[in-house]
Amino acid sequence: MTNDLDFIKKTIQLADENVQNGHGGPFAAIIVKEGKIIATGVNSVTSELDPTAHAEIKAIRNACKALNTYQLNDCIIYSSCEPCPMCLGAIYWSRPKKIVFAANKTDAANAGFDDSLIYDQLNLPIAERKIETVEIALENKNQPFLSWTNFNSKIDY
Amino acid sequence: MTNDLDFIKKTIQLADENVQNGHGGPFAAIIVKEGKIIATGVNSVTSELDPTAHAEIKAIRNACKALNTYQLNDCIIYSSCEPCPMCLGAIYWSRPKKIVFAANKTDAANAGFDDSLIYDQLNLPIAERKIETVEIALENKNQPFLSWTNFNSKIDY
């Protein structure tokens, strides 16, 4: 397998298998570096009781384990479906070079997986959000940041 | 400890300790249900080699383990800092009843933790994003969704 089409077809196959074997939702992701699959991930929310266990998040964690790093430089993430805001955030933090997906947000919403609520919430002022959100401006709220700035042996990320 | 102020002070203390003991970045979160702390989480990106190991994500995973569920009904998430888009996404998927934070986005950006890039990217058309993003409209891209719809023993989430 050497091109985007082959890898993205594989994610659709894995996503379909993830449903058929009762493991979780209809989503899968693959991470490729230098033409080779280094990790896969499938939706495992209900089987692992982890609401963050979306396919892309699982694949990113597995790829980082495989590469022994917390950055996916030069990697490509293939996802069976356009990433939700949580996964897109995770992808940006992990810094791969490219994202390829098959089904899009509209396809997902038609199947009952609508993440437009979350996209909308991210853009609303805090006071207007669906989950009550409160800022408490503690006097020492920046103490952890000050400690970080002064900590000599920190590992930047 | 019975109120927001006490719990949020505790997150600042945990975040500061996380820097001092060299474990990770200056962030912590606590999840409370019925007035009791059921889980904590600290930034563990570099120590666990996991770019998704932000404080809130760790706390959500730990809370779900503690409660044996993938939903945080009736829980409150206290975070030392306003959640990034990834964590806010995770919070919405886990469905707590309230979010309380201390430092805000601006405080974090001033300390070198600027997540405005990710907020901006989420709102850009795919073609204009910083990480190359490609949609491949495979003919069978909706097969996993069709299988999901037809799968009788699925667990909705």
Cα separation values, A130 from A5, A89, A120, B71, B96, Å? 39, 20, 10, 16, 11
pLDDT per position as a tens digit, A91-105: 999 999 999 999 999
| ipTM reported for the complex, 2 dp | 0.95
Give yes or no: A128 in active site.
no
- Nearest C-alpha in A relative to B65: A49
Contact A52 B51 (CB under 8 A): no
Q: Which residues of B are catalytic?
A: 56
For testing contact with chain A, the best of B20, B48, B52, B139 (most A CBs within 10 A):
B52
Distance, CA of B94 to chain centre: 9
Q: What is the pTM of this model?
A: 0.96
pLDDT at A40: 98
Local mean pLDDT, 10-residue blocks, chain A (157 residues): 87 97 96 97 97 98 97 97 97 97 95 90 94 96 96 87
Distance, CA of A118 to chain centre: 14
Distance, CA of B4 to chain centre: 19
pLDDT at B1: 47
pLDDT per position as a tens digit, B3-21: 999 999 999 999 999 999 9
Average pLDDT of chain B, as a whole number: 95
Distance, CA of A17 to chain centre: 20
